[in-house]
Homo-oligomer: A and B are copies of this chain.
Amino acid sequence: MITVALDAMGGDHAPRAEVEGAVLAAREYADVRILLVGIPEKVRPELDRLRHRDLPIEIVPATDVVTMTDSPSHAFRRKKDSSLHVAARLVRDGKADALVSAGNTGAVMTVARFVLGTLPSVDRPALAWAFPNIKEKVSIMLDVGANVDSKPLHMEQFAVMGEIYYRELWGTKRPRIALLSIGEEDVKGNELTKESAALLKQTSLNFVGNVEGRDVFRGNVDVIVCDGFIGNIALKLSEGLVEHIGGMLKKAIKSSLASQIGYALSKKAFGAFRKRTDYSEYGGAPLLGVRGVTIIGHGRSNANAVKNAIRVAAELCRSGMNEKIEQELSAAAAIPARG
């Protein structure tokens, strides 16, 4: 049995989306037990609306809530009784295997990092994001915002963690690892990518070199490694552009009757398109490198997104991902030549 501590108060649609997602997940995944962490008076009525008597769902009380506008440090230091902290402590104390929250991303990262701690061989955790690509698969990018000003050694650790995550979740034996840069040639890039490339070449990873921004959607690599400053800008730029294009299309369609009829006829096609650009289908972003699996859902998560986040959390627990990360990184660190 895998126990997931779900922050029932995180996310824009909490606790309703969280409770519904928990019920969906508990129904669908036979080996998953869910601890709904939150303010009982708010969580209980939501749960009671749904048929849940036979499901392995329990409410664990918390008295406070981290809001979307709380600074990470405020959330970490001043809200120790929040649902987020209580959920993280359940994982730390071995009462749950995974933490899932669609709350304030910065706060979840900070609380997970410092309440759970990092794995012994990991210097910095990394947030990994799945970008859908033109080959109808995903390429993951990490780090998308857990750290800034990363050093080459951190980039190497991101690559190892990303490889294992990709392998466990998408089943590819030797995922293709690349560095996000500004040209494919070795000489292109900044100091960080050049030094990181030199390090990555010495590993046993399937390192294929540099890729550019446009390759994120081409599906020619599986794992894209970058500093969290770059990754976060890439992620938010993509979200912004998808929104922007959606808005422009809507406007263009509204501009004439013919195109409105046209839109009505092609609605199904747009539905499929929207589903492929809907990041909630991909189940949230794991914060790799912390003790205990941590999945951060999008703030706008609906019940389906919460269910998917729980699914991913359970898969990563079953796969023993963290043991594998620790094993590979500690083995790598033992080779003195790589310094």
Q: Do residues B239 and A214 form an inter-chain contact, with CB atoms below 8 A? A: yes
Query: What is the size category of the interface that chain A forms with chain B?
Result: 35 or more
Contact of A240 among B218, B228, B259 (CB under 8 A): B218
The reply to whether A235 and B262 contact each other, CB–CB distance below 8 Å, is: no
Query: How far apart sit A215 and B240, CA to CA, in the bound complex (Å)?
Result: 7
Point out the residues of chain B lying under 8 angstroms from A333, CB to CB: none
Instruction: Say if the beta carbon of A169 comes within 8 Å of chain B.
Output: no
Q: Check A329 for interface membership: any CB of B closer than 8 A.
A: no
Q: Which residue of B lies closest to A217 (CB)?
A: B244
A243-284 interface bits toward B, Cβ cutoff 8 Å, 1 = contact, 0 = none: 111011100110110111111111111101100110000000
**Interface membership of A230, Cβ < 8 A:** yes
* B-chain residues with CB within 8 Å of residue A180 when the two chains form the complex: 233
| Integer count of this chain's copies in the complex | 2
Residues in B with CB closer than 8 Å to A213 are 232-240
Query: For A242, A256, A272, which residue has the most chain B Cβ atoms within 10 angstroms?
Result: A272
Cβ contacts under 8 Å, A263 to chain B? 262, 266
Nearest chain B CB to A229 CB, angstrom units: 5
Residues A245 and B245 in contact in the complex (CB < 8 Å), given A189-B148, A237-B216, A269-B252: yes
Of chain B, the residue at the smallest CB distance from A187 is B71
Q: Is A31's CB within 8 Å of the partner chain B? A: no
Contacts of A265 in B (CB 8 A): 258-259, 261-262, 265
A216 to chain B, nearest CB (A): 6
State A217–B155 Cα separation when bound (angstroms). 29
Q: Mark A209-227, 1 if CB is under 8 A from B, else 0.
A: 0001111111000000001
In the complex, whether A208 has a CB less than 8 A from a CB of chain B is no
Q: How far is the CA of A301 from the CA of B237 in the complex (A)?
A: 25
Query: Quick one: closest B residue to A133, CB to CB?
Result: B244
In the complex, A286 has a CB within 8 A of chain B: no
A189 CA to B230 CA, complexed, in Å: 10
A198 part of interface (Cβ distance < 8 Å): no
| Residues A259 and B253 in contact, CB atoms below 8 Å apart | no
Q: What is the minimal beta-carbon distance from A244 to any residue of chain B, in angstroms?
A: 4
Minimal Cβ-Cβ distance residue in B for A233: B213
Cβ contact within 8 Å between A252 and B272? yes
Could you list 7 examples of A-B contacts with CB < 8 Å? A182-B229, A214-B236, A217-B243, A218-B240, A238-B241, A259-B268, A260-B266
Please give the residue numbers on chain A whose beta carbons come within 8 Å of chain B beta carbons, in ascending order: 71, 106, 133-134, 145, 148-149, 180-183, 185, 187, 189-191, 212-218, 227-230, 232-245, 247-249, 252-253, 255-256, 258-270, 272-273, 276-277
Given known contacts A217-B243, A252-B269, A252-B273, what 14 new A-B pairs fall within 8 Å (CB)?
A: A134-B244, A145-B182, A189-B229, A213-B237, A216-B240, A233-B233, A237-B237, A237-B238, A238-B241, A245-B277, A249-B273, A252-B270, A262-B264, A266-B266
